[in-house]
Structure 1
Amino acid sequence: MPFTLDARHIQNMSAATAIEPHWGYADRAVPCTNDAGSCAYLDDVYSSHDRGMLYSGILWCVIGAILLLWVVLNQSNAPTLSPSLASTEPAGLVRARRAVRALACKYLLPDAARLVFGRTTRLQVLTLALLVGYLLVFSFVGIVYHTWVTPVSDMPGVYNTRDSIGPWSDRVGTLAYALTPLSVLLSSRESFLSVITGLPYQSFNFLHRWLGYIIFVQSSLHTIGWCVVELRLYQPQPTVGLEWVTQTYIIWGIVAMILLLLMFALSTPWGIRLTGYETFRKLHYVLAMVYIGACWAHWKALKCFMWPSLIFWFLDRGARLVRTALLHYHPDHTGGGLALKPAAASITRFPDPEHGDVLRLNLENGQDPWDVGQHYYLCFPKSSVWQSHPFTPLNLPVVKNGTVQHSYLLRAKGGETKKIANLAIESKSTPVILTGAYGESIATHLTPSTNILCIAGGTGITYVLPVLLGLARQPPSPDRKVELIWAIRHTANTEWIEAELDLLQKARNTLNLEIRIFATRDATSKTPSEASIENCNLTVPKIEEKAPIESEASCCGCDKPASVERLGGSEDSSRHPDLPRLVSSFVGDTVRGPTSVFASGPGGMISDLRDIVASCNDGPKVWKGQERFDVRLVCDDRLEW
């Protein structure tokens, strides 16, 4: 069915000899029988719209080409190549690739304009800037900037002012529609972009948020532009304005703009603090779907952009349900057959009235193992079936008798985790519904020639601990250096992962592993050696004020005990580890090979590490064969270098 809006451009459809279709816009009557000024204006309107659709298509072609190039580069850089193929790769090409990576890391890894963009790397901001640059250019190109004063039929002496603001408003509106599917793609947890690029879904959160801001600005400009045209430039007023604003498609446009304004307000830091994150998230889902429907009703000729948006959203929601069902669809031993059952998790509670209790959950589930570095969303039905939160398993995924054990650390500061902490007082177990696994595998960074530095703050140890446990199962690599730096508030916090630390302690000599723990709230020790844990047992809550005796240090099979350095002066003051010195010292002391830094902790620590790791990279030196200046950061946001 042709899409017509006769009143919009005062076209005489009955006098037309042909109807000219335009993709995404009203059909045009040809030849134009209006006055010369109106016909020239219509020429500009339709040619501008056609170019806008072309530029939208070019935008998606560029996105597709970038994704295709990404796949090709990922395949060429894949470390899973067979040894025979890897050995045939020219050494110069390998050095060149590593040098380019080190050079890019040096300049694109640090945070960019934190006051504006938050804790976001320069790479993310550069990607956003390229998109904004494209939109700025093609929002104005191909429009004839002119003003036409045309008579109003049957009203002598009354004139319409037709200006290029109309075609320009249509252009920015078209681009806003074209960006909607991309915004939905960037927000998906079951992300198609992750499949293509290998980056986890959370790496796209920054672009999703700012793309939403761009769509809001474009839609606002589109609305303001047409309000100026219909309520001021077209005559006679207020007749034209009232007839325009009461049309169905305009009413739906107003609804869409109100919904977009609500989403924008709720997505700001102030909006999220006001409503709470979970409320914001649920409202965002609902408002986004209603917004897409309102956009469809406002301008159905551009439904080609709304269809993909809806499809991407429903695929994401459906895939989440399928993942959850596959994880919990197990044999029912009571009645036979299969049934959906949550996993039963045991709870160990570590009281901390000052900063919130820490809970350790241990559960077993019949499933395939996940990859180290991935995480699961946990839902606690006893508390709420409408909320789930991401947590990284701190243990290695090992299948035993058809089941895999999961272990998690949760700090109960408030909200859902606080409810679980209260439940733990009454019961030592709780049902858990899992969804996942999500995120990238970090096993590709654990090659024998790569030095490993793990840095964690507090419960962030769950991200780096599986890396070390996995290394303990690999054949030893004599020249590889491995180190763990863990910042905790109190020495007693080592109880969270007592068994895992004992395993690492036994594997220290084999791994060439150094374990350094910093207690930021405990009374300051004179020297790190004086804070050494007696008998090499990392899990003793209290540390005596003495250096270890040689016999004590050797009783657990290690030649040097792990140490806890206490940095705080009192319970209400703390200092943090000197990360620039620690990282630089580690990189400088490596024998050979690049370094991968695995990190998880507070945002400030991650931002500092980005600056530190960037400063350690040197592309020209890597090109000359000095691999130690090729340093990669792999952290919770999985922005990989």
Structure 2
Amino acid sequence: MSDATQLEPHWGYADRALPCTSDKGSCEYLDLVYSAHDLGMLYAGILWATIGGILIFWAVRRKLSLPSHNLAIPYRIHESASARLGRTARAAVQRYLLPEFIRSVFGHATRLQVVVLVSLIGYLTIWSFVGLAYRTWVTPVKNLPGVYNTRTTLGPWSDRIGVLAYALTPLSVMLANRESLLSLLTGVPYQGFNFLHRWLGYVIFAQGSLHTIGWCVTEMRLYQPQPAVAQQLVAETYLVWGIVAMAVLTLLVFLSTSCGIRLTGYEAFRKLHYSLAMVYVGACWGHWDKLECFMIPSLIFWLIDRGLRLVRTAILHYQILPSGNVGFRSCSADITFCSDSEHGDVYRLDLTNNQDPWEIGQHYFLCFPESSIWQSHPFTPLNAPQVRHGLVKHSYIVRARCGETRRVAELCANKLSSTQHTSDTKAISVILTGPYGANIMEALEPNSNVLCIAGGTGVSFVLPVLLRLSQSTKSANRKLQLIWAIKRASDVKWIERELEALKQVSADANVDVSVFVTRDLGTKIESTNGTRRPNTAKLIGEFLENTVCGPSVVVASGPGEMISDIRRAVAGFNSPRKVWGGQQRYDVKLICEDRLAM
């Protein structure tokens, strides 16, 4: 029976019985345990306060620094010193932080992303070790003469690591959400947080492992007598849930590796990932329910994300049916099929829907219920959104690779060959979810020179920018150019209507279109500048040299290697010295859709 007279509450931990009636060493150890935990909760609060402060500052700064949406506003050639200083600083950041860093470790992440990750790890490292007294106590075991426990700071430190791992869980969920609060505040598309989400998962795994190892050493080695203490430990419910949590976390980490994704397939990985994530949250809750303050937000963020996805789909598809009733109706998309047995068939989908227009740069997730209702994939409309008679037209180009896109391609081919048609189109049902992503037109200043570079189907990301700019008020000083790399000359047919529209306004809007054919070496097409992969660095340099005034923006989409080359080239052309001297063309901004991040 304890001689304690009161219980002292501690947020996130068991209440402490006071006064301490054990030996002096044990009491000092318990003082450390509780003080270390209290500080850990404080540090977790400081961590979240820091994150919140950064997000608020970012959101306010973004709101204040957005260029005017009116592209017809006359551009100021002579800038104030403060504006020139800001532009110079931006050029410096682009020059030194835009290139990729140690691709074998970090993949296609930029130096800026790695700097953010390293800063977070450094911040967590500081909070993991400060406020702890590093001591060792040898204390007698009650009722066992000659038997002693070795008490060290390893236990309190393991608790601190565990608290921080719990505190990071809501952030990890937020970074993975498609319905992203972070995107709303920062303007960064949700897929831009994938790198940090993945590495934060590795950090939580490392923290969980250290927490587990620390307490296993403490309970199974330092505490006596053994194996009685260890046997008592493994019978505890909280330990069982801890084992479940670490097992699920280990599985999550393995499945997120390239080996795991190849083993399961991407769709299976995606579904397993977000399902197991909630199993992990539940196991953590079962392991230590006193820290539910971190688990409840994680669950709420996950449920909101799932719920809003359904709401988006409902808004797009619950409409007035021909019968006069309100009900769910999928879109009917016309198919234009382009056979390519070597590189993968391509099919173009054209549909209309009663909805609000999306912003340039946003994309939709497309589900093909005639193939599977359990899969959807992101695609960017290749047209600029316009409302006509209450309807908005969508156009997509899809290359069949494997899995769902291959099955849909086969379905389209079967539809086109099943009966005789007077044209080469037939319809397929499509369910839309979206739009998602950022409005990339926000980044354009009234007199920005815009270079669009695309590889293959990546043209769907860059083409709407040129279509919108070519339709806006013309500027004699603004230069617009499209560089498109395709494998075959016949691939031009994917967007021949849009290219024809650009051709009609090219002289007035100062638009230049260059198409590079990389595989059909014996074929020549009009406006083709070469029959090899374009040298993006050279082309970007030529574009900058031919601009008259104003900053430059490169909009790019394509394979990972192409995006890497473009990042490296854009970084090299950013020159803080020249920008400070008034040559705004060397303030080069990159807006890219890294299709590997989707």
Q: TM-score range by the shorter chain?
A: over 0.9
SS of match in other structure, 2:193: helix
Q: Do 1:203 and 1:638's aligned partners in 2 also have CA atoms closer than 8 Å? A: no
Task: Give the drift of 1:86.
Answer: 10
> Partners in 2 of 1:416 and 1:338 — Cα distance?
30
Paired residues for 1:20-99 under 5 Å:
20-80=8-68, 91-99=80-88
Greater alpha carbon shift after TM alignment, 596-605 vs 422-431: 422-431
Q: Does 2:240 correspond to 1:275?
A: no
Mean alpha-carbon deviation: is it higher for 30-39 or for 516-525? 516-525
* Structural RMSD (CA): 1.8
Structure 2 residue 592 is the aligned partner of structure 1 residue 635: yes
Cα separation, 2, equivalents of 1:204 and 1:361: 29
One-letter amino acid matched to 1:587: L
Q: How does 1:502-581 map to 2 (within 5 A)?
A: 502-523=500-521, 531=524, 533=526, 562-567=527-532, 576-581=533-538
Task: Show CA shifts across 1:434-470 (max 9, x none).
Answer: 0000011111234331101010001111011111111
Choose which of 351, 358, 379 in structure 1 pairs with 2:339. 351
Alignment of 1:171-210 (within 5 A): 171-210=160-199
In 2, are the aligned partners of 1:105 and 1:617 still within 8 Å (CA)? yes
Please list every run of at least 4 consecutive aligned residues from structure 1 whose deviation after the TM superposition is greater than 6 angstroms: 81-87
Contact 1:32 1:39 in 2 (8 A): yes
Residues 298, 582 of structure 1: alpha-carbon distance in 2 compared, 3 angstrom cutoff: same
Instruction: Please list the CA deviations of residues 285-328 of structure 1 after superposition, one character each: whole Å capped at 9, or x if unmatched.
Output: 11111110110111011000001000100000000000000000
Question: What does residue 479 of structure 2 align with?
Answer: 481
**Match of 2:414, as an amino acid?**
E
- The correspondence for 1:440, drawn from 438, 452, 455, is 438
Which residue of the partner structure matches residue 341 of structure 1? 329
Q: Which residue of 2 aligns with 1:169?
A: 158
Deviation at 1:563, TM superposition (A): 3.0
Q: What amino acid does structure 2 have at the position aligned with 1:500?
A: E
Partner of 1:215: 204
Give deviations 1:19-78, integer Å, cap 9, x for gaps: 111111111111110001101111111111111111111100100110111012112202
Correspondence for 2:542: 585
Provide, for residues 584-641 of structure 1, a one-character-per-residue CA deviation record: whole Å limited to 9, x for no partner: 11111211111100100000000110000000101122122110110011011499xx
Letter in 1 for 2:485: A
Stretch of structure 1 that moved more, 444-453 or 94-103: 444-453
CA distance in 1, matches of 2:541, 2:501: 27
Secondary structure of the 2:242 match is helix
Give the AA of the match of 2:316: L
Partner of 1:230: 219
Tell me, yes or no, if the aligned pair for 2:67 and 2:444 is still in contact at 8 Å. Answer: no
One-letter code aligned to 2:545: G
Paired with 2:565 and 2:479, the residues of 1 have a C-alpha distance of 22
Counterparts of 1:97-108 in structure 2, within 5 Å, are 97-108=86-97
* Residues 352, 90 of structure 1: alpha-carbon distance in 2 compared, 3 angstrom cutoff: closer
CA distance in 1 between partners of 2:359 and 2:471 (Å): 15
Identify the residue that residue 615 of structure 1 maps to in structure 2. 572
Question: 1:434 is paired with a residue of what secondary structure?
Answer: strand
Looking at both structures, which has the greater relative contact order when contacts are Cα pairs under 8 Å and sequence separation is at least 6?
2
Residues 85 and 72 of structure 1: CA distance in aligned 2, closer, same or farther (over 3 Å): farther
1:411-430 alignment runs, 5 A limit: 411-427=399-415, 428-430=426-428
Contact map agreement 1:200 1:638 (CA 8 A) in 2: no
Report the equivalent of 1:472.
Answer: 470
SS of structure 1 residue aligned to 2:531: strand
Question: 2:42 is matched by which residue type in structure 1?
Answer: L
1:157 aligns with 2:146: yes
**Counterparts of 1:150 and 1:608, CA distance in 2:** 63
Deviations 1:144-174 (A, max 9, x none): 1111111111111111111111011001000
Contact 1:378 1:391 (8 Å CA) reproduced? yes
Letter in 1 for 2:574: N
CA distance in 2, matches of 1:137, 1:125: 18
- Give 3-state SS (helix, strand or coil) of 1:433's partner: strand
Q: CA deviation at 1:122?
A: 0.6
Secondary structure of the 1:378 match is strand
Mark the runs of 5 or more structure 1 residues left unpaired by the alignment.
Answer: 1-11, 526-530, 534-561, 568-575
2:563–2:592 Cα contact (<8 Å) kept = yes
CA distance in 2, matches of 1:33, 1:603: 64
Of the three residues 299, 320, 324, the one matched with 2:288 is: 299
Q: Give the aligned residue type for 1:144.
A: A
CA distance in 2, matches of 1:311, 1:39: 39
Give 1:17 shift.
Answer: 2.0
Match of residue 457, structure 2, among 453, 456, 459:
459
Q: Which AA in structure 1 matches 2:535?
A: D
Is 1:494 the counterpart of 2:462? The answer is: no
**How far does the alpha carbon of each residue in 1:317-372 deviate from its partner, in whole angstroms, 9 at most, with x for none?**
00000000000011011x22211111011111100000110010011111000011
Give % identity.
Answer: 57
**Separation in 2, partners of 1:638, 1:121:** 15
Letter in 2 for 1:63: I
- For these two proteins, the number of residue pairs brought into alignment is 585
Q: Cα 1:501–1:84, aligned 2, differ >3 Å: closer, same or farther?
A: closer
Give the deviation of 1:90 after TM superposition: 7.1
AA of the residue aligned to 1:341: R
**Counterpart residue identity of residue 221, structure 1:** L
What is the rounded CA distance, in whole Å, between the counterparts of 1:249 and 1:27 in structure 2? 16
Q: Determine the C-alpha separation between the residues in 1 that align with 2:449 and 2:344.
A: 35
Q: CA deviation at 1:564?
A: 4.4
1:557 — aligned with what?
none
Q: Does 1:120 align with 2:123?
A: no
Q: Residue 614 and residue 638 in structure 1: after superposition, are their counterparts in 2 closer, same or farther (change >3 A)?
A: farther
Task: Please give the secondary structure, in 2, of the residue aligned with 1:514.
Answer: strand
